[in-house]
Amino acid sequence: MSHYVVRGGQALRGTIPISGAKNSVLPILAATLLNGGRNVLHNCPDLRDVRWAMAILEHLGCKVSREGDTVTVDSTVVDRWDVPHELMREMRSSVIFLGPILARCGRARLSLPGGCDIGQRPIDLHLSALRRLGADIRQQGGDIFCEARDLQGRDIILSFPSVGATENAMLTAVACGGATRVINAAREPEIADLQEFLRKAGASVSGGGESVITVSGEMPRRDVEHTILPDRIETATFLCAAAACGGEVTLTGTEPEHVGTVIQCLREAGCAIGCAGRTITIQAEGRLTAMPTVRTMPYPGFPTDAQAPLMAAACTGAGNTLFIETIFENRFRHANELARMGADIRISGRTALVCGGTLHGARVRSCDLRGGAALVVAALAAQGESIVEDIFHIDRGYERLAEKITALGGNIQRIGT
């Protein structure tokens, strides 16, 4: 099993580029099934989850290739409508293929998705949105069978602004007769990016990034060239690493507006952060101070995916910070591992009180993607050597992590492939 060896205590200094967003490229790869043509996607991070999504497209009959950060998908031929268990179990977001396969093939068979162990992660909102559009869905054992008898555009009211359910609804609605409105839609920037891709392909979609999205039922048929938006969670993670370690770090090719809440927290903790165009520079001197309560919320609130890296930074600060996780019920698993490094974190249900202090090196284990990234942040800030195990979780969402940290002067070595 691969692991990182991190020798902490170095300030981080330098400039690194931010990669394309994992959470944008996955639904857009699924959307390439729709147009029956050629899709050229730039700024695609080379990540485990992206490779799995490319494998699913190949299984379905598409021709898929990568050159540098450009992925090309030719979906002229789609001759299968199932996603086998081996491909589904690797990532939960593979459920995003349900809508596009249904729209393209009129039927779909998927097994129940895998992914991070951060909570129950049901897919009921995805299924009820598709049912509302007329899909006939049966669950048998671990499989979901879906048939599009007579897809009709309708109003879909989401009881929670689920990112994945919003995307699946948009991707199915293009195949419906008539217009669909997704009400209480997720407003994450990745939804607006999906809308932009669909529009380039010829679909009529509006409202992406707002609470009501309208899709007129018309299959997109055009070839597309599209550049994936920058990864706001990778951006947030590097901001937290710089805040925890001290130093001065510049992140290029990113979108400052998408990490507004994270920047605000770090400024309140004493960091100086400047934004210019697509660049963010953070300067961190001395110890962080306490932050006002950090409450995870749907966008534009504080992102749940940045909660763990920010918590790692808070552990190195001088005061106490309260974290409230409102999105996922089991997203404090990194706290036990941080405790091995000397962190003082008191958990009660969905609340974690972090009492700032100093961290020391330890052997720790990644439990999920963002929790694993938090352990790397903590290890970089800790005195002494740490070993971060089970980094296959981290590989799902961070491109060339060790390389980027090394470019900033951090001491990290990857052992194993």
List residues near ligand UD1 by CB under 6 A: 23, 26, 93, 119-126, 160, 162-165, 186, 304-305, 327-328
Return the number of the residue (4 or 328) whose C-beta is nearest ligand UD1. Answer: 328
Return the number of the residue (256 or 397) whose C-beta is nearest ligand UD1. Answer: 397
Residue nearest to ligand UD1 (CB): 164
Return the number of the residue (160 or 221) whose C-beta is nearest ligand UD1. Answer: 160
Return the number of the residue (36 or 298) whose C-beta is nearest ligand UD1. Answer: 298
- CB neighbour list of residue 18: distance below 8 Å, 6 or more residues apart: 230, 231, 234, 235, 238, 251, 252, 253, 254
Return the number of the residue (160 or 274) whose C-beta is nearest ligand UD1. Answer: 160
Return the number of the residue (19 or 316) whose C-beta is nearest ligand UD1. Answer: 19
116 is a catalytic site residue = yes
Which residue out of 44, 62, 105, 116 is catalytically annotated? 116
Return the number of the residue (133 or 359) whose C-beta is nearest ligand UD1. Answer: 133
Please choose, from the candidates 354, 321, 322, 318, the residue with its C-alpha nearest in 3D space to the C-alpha of residue 339: 354
The residues that are catalytic are 116
